[in-house]
Amino acid sequence: MSHRSSWLLSLPALALTALCSAQTPSQPQPQPGRTLVHAAHLVDVRSGRLLDDQTLVVSGDRIVAVGPASQVKPQPGDKTIDLGDATLLPGLIDVHTHLTDDTNFDPYHELTTTVAKSALIGARNAKVTLQAGITTVRNVGADGFADVDLRDAISEGLIEGPHMQVSGPALGITGGHMDNNLLPESFHSVGDGVADGIPAVQHMVRQNIKYGADLIKIGATGGVLSKGDDPQASQYTLEEMQAIVVDAHRLGRKVAAHAHGAQGILWASEAGVDSVEHGTYINDEDIKMMKTHGTYFVPTAYLIDWVRENGHLPAYSQQKMRDVSAVEKANAKHAIAEGVKVAMGTDAAVYPHGLNAHELEVYVRDFGMTPPDALRTATVNAADLMGWSDRVGSLEPGKWADVIAVSGDPLKDITVLQRTVFVMKSGTVYRNDLHRQ
């Protein structure tokens, strides 16, 4: 009898415990009260101007004020972080990452990597990326939805990492860039996002959203690192891409299209995708279509430099890499000069995570962008592409307190962004090399 009554009693007790733990998030909680972040300089990314002697006021996970230090009145309980002569900027945004992948050109590596291992790799890379000053990413393509769990583990505070929008498995045609083409037919190896024809792509879009995708990634053309396909050949048809975009947009998701060849870029933009990734063979017809439709261009340019120096590609990729490397930069420079909108994406994983800000150096050095324009690709433009202009991309009241600092002036020397000395995300400090708190 006593056993029975204690069993009866324990039910509501258990329910209460479950309720309490559900209401006690393990996310690192910002200190109560305000944090004043002061530095000698702050970049206003919209105007492209360097402002002096600025204080940023953070409360909880948000920026509540920003302005000249003399105009911010300290209150009892305020905590101050003085970063001395450093320069404050909004945390950078990379709209094309693969956090659940490591740099590995062994074609069979992917076939021997489980979804659980991918998530663990992602946990390590998420931290590396955040520490490098990238406070927001889009992760574009992960079989098994390892990216969904990675995103959720970060937002639950289990691990450190940037804010994430994730795509789940990338959609692509049978035998295309998003499929697995290494094994003979008897092994039945098929990429998770492979779907052919309009009903199948509609189903795949809906299934990805069901399992947690924030955006849809598709393969509009062949790729460089995949076996047996041609970067210049379009893969999805215009009609398939139109079906994908209509469904994704109706369900509140953006669409990112991997596209190298000119025809695939044209169809992707015409179909209404939100961004063209890589864009290697972008031509004047593509540029005109993209400007008409407001399609963002995500160049992923630094990987060419890195692979040339360090990459040991499988035989089937070597000529393709030589071909795209020969034209990519000149075409991108032309498209940018013609006024196509650009958001920074890196394809990090092709080269080691954490080197993301090298991308901006290419935009300035090789594409002729001014440093303020380059900075906007990784802040306000990227935020716009993600549909997150209300929360990331600039140091303005109401936005998430995602703040980085560097030594030096990024408006004069964009490479200082490769050496971040301070990282705050959602009001929590994840890095402070200056230790001037």
Catalytic residues: 217, 347
Please, what is the minimum distance in Å from the beta carbon of residue 27 to Zn ion?
Answer: 29
DSSP string covering 266-309? HHHHHHT-SEEEE-TT--HHHHHHHHHHT-EEE---HHHHHHHH
Nearer to Zn ion, 242 or 300 (CB): 300
Nearer residue to Zn ion within complex by CB, 277 or 366: 277
| Helices 315-337 and 284-293: angle between axes, nearest 10 degrees | 60
Q: Are strands 254-259 and 275-278 parallel, antiparallel or unpaired?
A: parallel
**Which is closer to Zn ion, CB of 96 or CB of 431?**
96
**Of residues 45, 153, 143, 140, the one with CA closest to residue 95:** 140
User: How many Å apart are CA 369 and CA 378, to the nearest integer?
Assistant: 13
* Pairwise CA distance, residues 302 & 394, whole Å: 24
**Residue 202, H or E segment:** helix 198-210
Closest C-alpha among 392, 282, 386, 267 to residue 339 = 282
The answer to whether the CB of 58 falls within 8 A of the CB of 34 is yes
Helix axes 262-271, 284-293, angle to 10 degrees: 20
For the CB of residue 80, give the shortest distance to Zn ion in the complex, in Å.
41
Q: What are phi and psi of 271, to 5 degrees?
A: -70, -15
Report the alpha-carbon distance of residue 216 to residue 140 in Å, rounded. Answer: 8
CB-nearer residue toward Zn ion: 240 or 347: 347
In the bound complex, what is the minimum distance in angstroms from residue 303's beta carbon to Zn ion?
Answer: 9
Q: Which is nearer to Zn ion, 121 or 411 (CB)?
A: 121
Name the residue nearer to Zn ion (CB basis): 167 or 420. 167
Binding site for Zn ion (CB under 5 A): 347
Rounded to whole angstroms, how far apart are CA atoms 388 and 348?
A: 21
* 163-166 and 428-432 beta bridge pairing: unpaired
Structure tokens at 401: 């307190």
Least separation in angstroms between CB 264 and Zn ion: 15
Helix (H) or strand (E) holding 82: strand 79-82
Based on CB atoms, which residue is closest to Zn ion, 259 or 395? Answer: 259
User: Minimum Å distance from CB 430 to Zn ion?
Assistant: 25
Pick the closest to residue 96 from 133, 126, 139, 128 (CA basis): 139
For residues 247 and 239, what is the distance between their CA atoms, to the nearest angstrom? 12
Q: How far is the CB of 156 from Zn ion (least distance, A)?
A: 26
Residue nearest to Zn ion (CB): 347
Evaluate whether 93 touches 392 at the Cβ level (below 8 Å).
yes
Q: Rounded to the nearest whole angstrom, what is the least distance from the CB of residue 16 to Zn ion in the complex? A: 46
